Structure 1
Amino acid sequence: MSMDGCRLKVVILLWCLLVISGSSFEIGSYDLERDRPAKCEAITIPMCVGIGYNLTRMPNFMDHDDQKEAAIKLNEFAPLVTYGCDVHLRFFLCSLYAPMCTDKVSTSIPACRPMCEQARERCVPIMKKFSYTWPESLNCSKLPTRNDPKRLVHGGARE
């Protein structure tokens, strides 16, 4: 991903943070409205370092308690990310396993549904060749849409 592409995503995300407040989002068993520490921490997950933002908060949207646990699970997607079936796959996965954190907002910020749907659409054919299916834990219908004014989401332009 080009540096301009990362900057654009971060700018879109920060704009959303300034315009929208509050969030209600659930994926897997994770609920943003439950109590959780509001402290941001530096991203240490190798796949997510240099993704366009540097801070995350745990537990994540996949209900991992720490980055070490998240990194182990995220590493299962490394071959698919390396293959490059979708230009935004790494960013999308990191937004769930190492969600962006800012002290300006008390919740983490997930990717939007269109980014998930694009990744699924482009990667499922590759996964099928190796007898894999899109994981239920990455159910796109549970992600917020970009048009929901009550939810913060990472943007993701279709290419």
Structure 2
Amino acid sequence: MQRRLCALLLLASQCMGSAAGLFPFGEPDFSYKRSNCKPIPAPMLLCRGIEYQSMRLPNLLGHETVQEVLEQASTWIPLVQKQCHPDTRKFLCSLFAPVCIDDLDEIIQPCHSLCEEVKESCAPVMSAFGFPWPDMLDCSRFPKDNDLCIPLASSDHILPVTREGKRERPGRPRTGSICPR
């Protein structure tokens, strides 16, 4: 009897290990963990003003409860306040509170380009405070731009970057411009 139980546990652990590679971020989607829509809670400052009202749980970071999401998301508010990239809030919110549409079973992830742009602008800010860009935000995990991912916002509102790497203020003439005045 004990051998059968050990064999069954061994088989179950092997199945779990092989199933983990099939799901985003290694999280298997068993029936008891079925994604479901929850309203984005009002105290979730990270997603305040975002364009949708329902989030999917478990989220893209493996959080399974609203309370867990609230606790973890609050730690990212200082990065959003640093305004290192105009899409920082959009990117982080898409991970902590992924958009949830009742009729769509597919998880909508941020596009690879959205992650890369936010990382390029915000990783130096994080590094200045002694924090590396976390593995959980590895951009290679996200899909290439397509119709089922959250894209980078239009670049029309992004300020040009000078050679020194600083964003220019609107109305300020650019030095070294190749455009005639």
How would you bin the TM-score normalised by the shorter chain? 0.7 to 0.9
Q: Structure 1 CA distance, aligned partners of 2:35 and 2:24?
A: 18
Larger Rg: 2
Asked which structure has the greater RCO (Cα within 8 Å, sep 6+), the reply is 1
**Which residue of 148, 152, 155 corresponds with 1:156?**
152
Per the TM alignment, residue 110 of structure 1 is displaced from its structure 2 partner at its CA by 1.3
Indicate how the Cα distance of structure 1 residues 109 and 125 shifts in structure 2: closer, same or farther if over 3 A, else same.
same
**Which residue of 26, 30, 47 corresponds with 2:27?**
30
What are the Cα deviations for residues 3-33 of structure 1, in whole angstroms up to 9, with x where unaligned?
xxxxxxxxxxxxxxxxxxxxx8613x335x5
* Structure 2 partner of 1:15: none
Unaligned runs of 5+ in 2: 1-21, 159-181
- Residue type of the alignment partner of 1:99: P
Q: Structure 2 CA distance, aligned partners of 1:46 and 1:34?
A: 30
Q: Percent identity?
A: 34
Secondary structure of the residue that 1:41 maps to in structure 2? strand
* Structure 2 partner of 1:6: none
Indicate how the Cα distance of structure 1 residues 49 and 25 shifts in structure 2: closer, same or farther if over 3 A, else same.
farther
* Structure 2 partner of 1:43: 40
Farther-moved stretch of structure 1 (102-111 vs 129-138): 102-111
Q: Structure 1 runs of 4+ off > 4 angstroms? A: none
Secondary structure of the residue that 1:65 maps to in structure 2? coil
* Structure 1 partner of 2:175: none
Q: C-alpha root-mean-square deviation of aligned residues, in Å?
A: 2.0
Secondary structure of the residue that 1:77 maps to in structure 2? helix
Unaligned runs of 5+ in 1: 1-23
Q: Structure 1 CA distance, aligned partners of 2:116 and 2:70?
A: 23
Aligned residues: 131
Farther-moved stretch of structure 1 (110-119 vs 69-78): 69-78
Q: Structure 1 CA distance, aligned partners of 2:34 and 2:130?
A: 39
1:127 aligns with 2:122: no
Task: Describe how 1:137-148 pairs up with structure 2 within 5 A.
Answer: 137-147=136-146
Per the TM alignment, residue 49 of structure 1 is displaced from its structure 2 partner at its CA by 3.1
What are the Cα deviations for residues 25-54 of structure 1, in whole angstroms up to 9, with x where unaligned?
613x335x5544353221012321321111
CA contact (8 A) 1:56 1:108 kept: no
